[in-house]
């Protein structure tokens, strides 16, 4: 599968529904070419992004609304199981069950068949910084647990991709990395090389297209230096900062990479001020700095996807539907007019 999407619409993942079948029906209606399984964090805490992909990690414990690694007598045995599965590339040992991802399992049984399908998983930087040990230390800084994080997520990503192939042989898996918006600050004391190493380790488990989504501003050349095929960003709010790196982005596109332009806002207030026409103009403005640097508009459209700026879980269901409606209509208009 190549990355010539011609600005087809897809989305980041999270939705506000608590009914998995209803969420899947909305996805199926609006995202006809590249549907996405819906993450439903309002349904249960087990579907919170950092808990959702924790199933099977050694010592992972949920206590009410808290989660951490608890070192027990069985933690060493669990680590051994993890490393054995990693060395034998056996993703079947680390599934994501329906208790953790009802939207995924409803999606898999919904009868959707499309030309491509997208899934998502929390990225190793965000997960390693969010999950702590019993002393409240982020496990990314622990020699043993930190080494296990990307290997574990690699197996989880591989399992998910294998499951999604029941719907389409053409898969896209995004790593969601909101913590990369704090890269370079005291909140993320991880080096550039380490970030690239962590992301590439997870990517090794993905045989289809690989993407990274960061919903804030970040050091984009770091992410562009990974083995990702797609960079996903909030183009509605951060187009200016993304445009600071035309040289790196041109190289990325020339090697076949694609950009997912998060041009539809995911707040009710911003949506009230937008139409398909205004968003089309805004996307053109976001792309213009690159055309001035020698990247053709045709290339940007051809190697582009359209998405909301980020997830939709914080919206009322009717507003989330409006986002997807605008997204689908905008995509159709751009493909018909080429901006």
- Average pLDDT of 92-109? 96
Band the pLDDT of 197: cuts 50, 70, 90. Answer: very high
- The vertex-188 CA angle with 186 and 190, nearest 5°, equals 115
Kindly provide the b/e burial profile for residues 265-294, where b requires at least 16 CB atoms within 10 angstroms of the residue's own CB.
bbeeeebeebebeebbebbeebbebbbeee
1 within domain boundaries:
no
Give residue-wise pLDDT tens across range 165-188. Answer: 989 999 999 999 999 999 988 878
2 within domain boundaries:
no
Q: Cα Rg for the chain, rounded, in angstroms?
A: 19
Band the pLDDT of 339: cuts 50, 70, 90. Answer: low
Instruction: Check residue 56 and give its pLDDT.
Output: 95
173: tokens are 């898996």
Q: In the chain, what is the greatest distance between 2 CA atoms, to the nearest angstrom?
A: 62
166 within domain boundaries:
yes
Band the pLDDT of 114: cuts 50, 70, 90. Answer: confident
What's phi and psi for 116, nearest 5 deg? -155, 160
Separation of alpha carbons 279 and 285, rounded Å: 10
Question: Within 10 Å of residue 77's Cβ, how many Cβ atoms?
Answer: 11
pLDDT higher than threshold 90 for residue 20: yes
Instruction: Check residue 30 and give its pLDDT.
Output: 97
pLDDT higher than threshold 90 for residue 318: yes
Task: Write the CATH number for 281.
Answer: 3.20.20.210
| The 3-state secondary structure of the chain, one letter per residue | CCCCCCCEECCCCECCCCCHHHHHHHHHHHCCCCCECCECCCCCHHHCHHHHCCCCCCCEEEECCEEEECCCCCHHHHHHHHHHHHHCCCHHHCCCCCCCCHHHHHHHCCCCCCCCEEEEEECHHHHHHHCEECCCCEHHHCHHHHHHHHHHHHHHHHHHHHHHCCCCCCEEEEEECHHHHHCCCCCCCCCHHHHHHHHHHHHCCCCCEEEEEECCCCCHHHHHCCCCCEEEECHHHHHHHHCCCHHHHHHHHHCCCEEEEEEECCCHHHHCCCCHHHHHHHHHHHHHHHHCCCCCHHHHHHCEEEEECCCCCCCCHHHHHHHHHHHHHHHHHHHHHCC
Output the average pLDDT for the chain. 95
3 within domain boundaries:
no
305: tokens are 């996807």
Give residue-wise pLDDT tens across range 126-154. Answer: 999 999 999 999 999 999 999 999 999 99
What percent of the chain has pLDDT above 70?
99
pLDDT higher than threshold 70 for residue 338: no
- Average pLDDT of 231-246? 96
What percent of the chain has pLDDT above 90?
91
Instruction: Check residue 168 and give its pLDDT.
Output: 93
Number of domains in the chain: 1
Domain that holds residue 182: 8-337
265 within domain boundaries:
yes
Give residue-wise pLDDT tens across range 21-61. Answer: 999 999 999 999 999 999 999 999 999 999 999 999 999 99
Torsion of CA 286, 289, 293, 299, to 10 degrees: 20
30 within domain boundaries:
yes
Residues in CB range of 197: below 8 A, 6 or more apart: 150
50: tokens are 């950092």
């Amino acid at each position: 599968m190549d990355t010539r999407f011609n600005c087809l619409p897809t989305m980041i993942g999270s939705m506000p529904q608590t009914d998995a079948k209803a969420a899947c029906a909305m996805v199926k209606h609006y995202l006809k070419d590249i549907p996405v399984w819906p993450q439903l964090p309002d349904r249960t805490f087990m579907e919170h992004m950092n808990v959702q992909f924790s199933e099977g990690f050694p010592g992972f414990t949920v206590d009410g609304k808290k989660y951490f690694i608890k070192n027990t007598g069985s933690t060493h045995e669990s680590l051994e199981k993890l490393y054995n599965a990693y060395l034998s590339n056996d993703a079947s040992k680390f599934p994501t069950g329906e208790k953790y991802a009802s939207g995924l399992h409803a999606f898999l049984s919904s009868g959707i068949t499309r030309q491509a399908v997208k899934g998502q998983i929390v990225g190793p930087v965000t997960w390693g910084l969010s999950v702590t040990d019993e002393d409240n230390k982020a496990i990314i800084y622990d020699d043993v647990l930190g080494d296990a994080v990307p290997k574990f997520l690699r197996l989880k990503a591989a399992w998910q991709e294998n499951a999604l192939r029941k719907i389409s042989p053409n898969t896209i898996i995004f790593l969601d990395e909101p913590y990369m918006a704090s890269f370079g600050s005291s909140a993320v004391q991880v080096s550039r090389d380490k970030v690239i190493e962590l992301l590439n380790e997870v990517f090794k488990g993905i045989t289809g297209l690989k993407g990274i989504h960061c919903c804030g501003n970040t050091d984009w050349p770091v992410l562009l230096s990974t083995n990702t095929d797609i960079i996903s960003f909030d183009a509605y709010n951060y187009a200016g900062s993304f445009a600071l790196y035309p040289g790196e982005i041109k190289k990325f596109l020339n090697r076949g990479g694609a950009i997912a332009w998060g041009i539809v806002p995911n707040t009710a207030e911003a949506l009230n001020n937008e139409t398909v026409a205004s968003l089309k103009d805004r996307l053109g403005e976001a792309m213009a700095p690159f055309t001035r640097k020698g990247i053709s508009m045709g290339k940007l459209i051809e190697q582009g996807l359209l998405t909301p700026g980020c997830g939709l879980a914080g919206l009322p269901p009717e507003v989330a539907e409006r986002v997807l409606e605008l997204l689908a209509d905008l995509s159709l208009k751009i493909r018909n007019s080429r901006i």
